[in-house]
Amino acid sequence: MSTPGTRDAILRVFRQRKGQFISGEEISQTLGVSRTAVWKHIGLLRKQGYGIESAASRGYRLTETPDTLIPAEIQANLGTDCVGREVIHFEETESTNRIAHEYGKAGAEEGLVIIAEQQTAGKGRLGRPWISPAGVNLYTSILLRPSILPRWATQLTFLSSVAVARAIEAVSGLQPQVKWPNDVLIDGKKVAGILNEIDAEMEGIHYLVMGIGVNLNMTADQFPDDLRYPATSLALEAGRDFSRLTFARTLYRGLDDLYRTYLQEGFRPIAAEWNLFFAWQGKEVEVDFQDRRLQGTVTGIDTDGALLLRLHSGATERVLAGDVRPL
């Protein structure tokens, strides 16, 4: 058994017998590994922040779980149908989206979650970077295989934003807002970014990678000065730290729920909820789109996820891409 496999299996045994002592002998027999291996893995778990009490005649007992994002902790009683079916964790990786693409190409099942403590080359849209310091935030990618035409894929971006906004509301009580097309804000400052990418041909999608970055416990000095927009983290807004594990689990549950709704009922309920979080509904904005600078009033999004602008002429323009600024 590989190291993380044994570690996760030991944690599972502890969880099944919550609060009880279990002898090293029993763990070794249950898992089919040597007593020395059990002892070694208990040591590694302690190094990772797990509180494990040991008593000479009784064995080991789990007393404290750290805020780590390891698969066994994420998946324990998660209760989802699809999202988080398999979870792969990295201490460090270039980009969780990149890893998810590799699994997507290799034929992995939908629902696979990639999660990392740190990204060395986190990606935003159009080759922009996503700042990803270690141990403070959430960097995750989810592999999905919806049977939809490629042109509908943008709908899943809105689905991701709704899931992030829901999770922020649930864990913090703060009021998140969504920004077209792919950001989540608190008080006008960017707290999360979404990068969904597809591998597709005309007739359908092979797979979709849903990439989500959420600033949870990032401190002010961890943000660079040259960001395109003001940015923040949940901790900066709320004045307290948040459990990354709880946030991740809340997010995956929400995504699973919204994805099921989407497959059963289509985009309409997702768009309706997105509009509830949409700060610029009815506001005057400006956007550069296809070599033109447009100004108008936001009236919502359509089924392609296009932003609908009522221009001063009275005509409605469908904006398919671009950075929107309030006027």
Q: Which residues bind ligand BT5 (CB under 6 A)?
A: 95-97, 119, 122-126, 128-131, 139-141, 182-183, 190, 193-195, 211-213, 215, 227-228, 231
By beta-carbon proximity to ligand BT5, the closer residue of 6 and 140 is 140
By beta-carbon proximity to ligand BT5, the closer residue of 122 and 146 is 122
Q: Least Å distance between CB 62 and ligand BT5?
A: 30
By beta-carbon proximity to ligand BT5, the closer residue of 62 and 209 is 209
Q: Least Å distance between CB 42 and ligand BT5?
A: 32
- The answer to whether 326 and 183 have CB atoms below 8 angstroms apart is no
Give the whole-angstrom CA distance, residue 36 versus residue 169: 45
By beta-carbon proximity to ligand BT5, the closer residue of 6 and 96 is 96
Q: Least Å distance between CB 32 and ligand BT5?
A: 36
Q: Least Å distance between CB 180 and ligand BT5?
A: 11
Place of tokens 């998140």: 176
Give the whole-angstrom CA distance, residue 37 versus residue 273: 50
Kindly give the interhelix angle for 35-47 and 3-16, rounded to the nearest 10 degrees. Answer: 90
By beta-carbon proximity to ligand BT5, the closer residue of 55 and 220 is 220
By beta-carbon proximity to ligand BT5, the closer residue of 31 and 153 is 153
By beta-carbon proximity to ligand BT5, the closer residue of 131 and 279 is 131
Count other Cβ atoms within 10 Å, centred on residue 217.
21
> Which residues have C-beta within 8 Å of that of residue 278, sequence separation ≥ 6?
177, 178, 180, 298, 300, 301
Helix (H) or strand (E) holding 246: helix 244-265
Q: Least Å distance between CB 109 and ligand BT5?
A: 20
Count other Cβ atoms within 10 Å, centred on residue 74.
20
Residue 222: which of 130, 125, 149, 312 has the closest Cα? 130
Largest alpha-carbon pair distance within the chain?
83
Q: What is the DSSP string of 70-98?
A: -HHHHHTT---SSTTSSEEEESSBS-HHH
Give the whole-angstrom CA distance, residue 26 versus residue 107: 37
By beta-carbon proximity to ligand BT5, the closer residue of 197 and 273 is 197
Bond preceding residue 181 cis, omega within 30 of 0: yes
Question: What one-character DSSP code corresponds to residue 277?
Answer: H
Q: Least Å distance between CB 326 and ligand BT5?
A: 16
Q: Least Å distance between CB 150 and ligand BT5?
A: 20
Q: Least Å distance between CB 204 and ligand BT5?
A: 24
By beta-carbon proximity to ligand BT5, the closer residue of 124 and 269 is 124
> For the chain, what's the residue count?
327
Give the whole-angstrom CA distance, residue 280 versus residue 9: 48
Q: Least Å distance between CB 324 and ligand BT5?
A: 12
